[in-house]
Amino acid sequence: MIKISRRSFVASAGAVAATAGFGMPAIAAGKTIKIGAVQPFSGGLELFGKQAQMGLDLAASEINAAGGIMGHKVEVLYEDNKTDPKTSVERARKVIQRDEVMAVSGPITSAARDAMAGTMKRLKTPLLYATNYEGGICDRYLFSFNTVPNQDTAPLIPFLKEEGVGNSYYMFGADYVWPRNMFKAAGAMIKTVGGETVGEEYTPFGVKDFSSVIRKIADSGAKILLFALPGADGITFIKQAEEFGLTKKVTIAFLGFAETYLGAFGPGKGEGMYAGLPMVANSDEAGVQEFVSKIRKKEGDDAVVSFYVMTHYNSLMAVKAGIEKAGKVDKEAMIDGMGGLSFDIPTGKAMITENDHHVAMNMYIGKTGNGTLNVEKKLGVIAPEGQCG
């Protein structure tokens, strides 16, 4: 995993009114707008923390270069949540109460997000959640900038059937909230297209030997492996599946797959895997190519750019647009300004839904091949299902 350095920051002195459960008052002229970033920079998912940081850093630099937000400079304060829910809560409380942030970006896992939810609501601070997730949250203080199942998984399942890949599924993922709820949603989608689920299994994090489950999947007769094991564990599984020959027997539909995994499986490995995504970095779309070029100019020519970079970039750009729409730098006004907001992102137009704060945007089906991730099909704008019941 990549070890990264975090930006140093200057803390504001004193406690703020949020400690008593009240929103932060409007910011005085000339004062810096601070955004907390509670992301994993250790603990197993630091790869994704780095992706988030690249997107947030580019957004902040562009905003500041253009004069800030209504004349206020933007500063992102990074905190390592260590891929741990309890630490996530502690770090969120720290940046809200000590550093007076306007919003908090992060985290990656659903477990950490759920752990933080009470703190965000109590301290009346919006959480900018830019990771694809299982859906189901309707809260004034949460904005989801990535995908939910009807955007990334629902189009993928009928596509695989149409491609003749197969219609029988084995579902295997990590034993936590996101995979379990994603598989629950996928199971209903598979039935809709006349498919069947022949197996469903979960694994704890940190497993080193997947040989037994690989044999089970191979013997199940499934044509498609719906896979939801993120980070280093997912890489380990795919490597072992390649060695066993499983990838010659089943097609892998990798939930949450992104360019961050490319090259991790070894030369010529990890080919022919499918995913539903809100961006593919090597797309020929002008906005995507411009975005990737800006990231690499800032981070280096070898920087890996995935949709996680874009969605975190989008989240900070939405903060800017929401504050400017509201006409004042104030948390509650910003939240109102972001609801129903239409704004430009690298893949085109996006819109934040008014009540449940999820994002409608262009979607794609990608497929790995020749060591890269390619656009297999452009799906157009897909709106998220309503999350408020």
pLDDT in tens, 118-132: 999 999 999 999 999
Chain length of the chain: 389
Quick one: pLDDT at residue 10? 31
Query: If you compute the radius of gyration of the chain from its CA atoms, what whole number of angstroms results?
Result: 21
Q: Cβ neighbours of residue 48 under 8 Å, at least 6 residues apart?
A: 39, 40, 108, 131, 230, 231, 260, 308
Q: How far apart are CA 82 and CA 44, in angstroms?
A: 8
**DSSP summary character for residue 271:** T
Q: What would the pLDDT profile of 18-74 be if each residue is shown by its tens digit?
A: 333 334 445 555 689 999 999 999 998 898 999 999 999 999 999 999 999 999 999
Q: How far apart are CA 53 and CA 36, in angstroms?
A: 11
Quick one: pLDDT at residue 351? 98
Quick one: which of 320, 341, 388 has its CA closest to 33? Answer: 320
- Are 66 and 97 within 8 A, CB to CB? no
Token pair belonging to 11? 């803390």
The bridge status of strand 74-80 relative to strand 103-105 is unpaired
Quick one: pLDDT at residue 231? 86
Q: How far apart are CA 318 and CA 384, in angstroms?
A: 17
- Are 169 and 190 within 8 A, CB to CB? yes
Quick one: pLDDT at residue 136? 95
| Strand ranges for the chain from DSSP E | 33-39, 74-80, 103-105, 127-129, 142-144, 168-174, 196-203, 224-228, 251-254, 274-277, 342-345, 348-352, 359-369, 372-382
Q: Cβ neighbours of residue 219 under 8 Å, at least 6 residues apart?
A: none
Q: Which domains, and CATH codes, for the chain? A: 17-147+285-361 (3.40.50.2300), 150-282+366-382 (3.40.50.2300)
Q: What is the pLDDT along the chain (389 residues), one digit of tens a residue?
A: 333 333 332 333 333 333 333 344 455 556 899 999 999 999 988 989 999 999 999 999 999 999 999 999 999 999 999 999 999 999 999 999 999 999 999 999 999 999 999 999 999 999 999 999 999 999 999 999 999 999 999 999 999 999 999 999 999 999 989 999 999 999 999 999 999 999 999 999 899 999 999 999 999 999 999 999 998 899 999 999 999 999 999 999 999 999 999 989 888 899 999 999 999 999 999 999 999 999 999 999 999 999 999 999 999 999 999 999 999 999 999 999 999 999 999 999 999 999 999 999 999 999 999 999 999 999 999 999 999 97
Quick one: pLDDT at residue 29? 54
Q: How far apart are CA 219 and CA 217, in angstroms?
A: 5
Quick one: pLDDT at residue 266? 84
Quick one: pLDDT at residue 239? 95
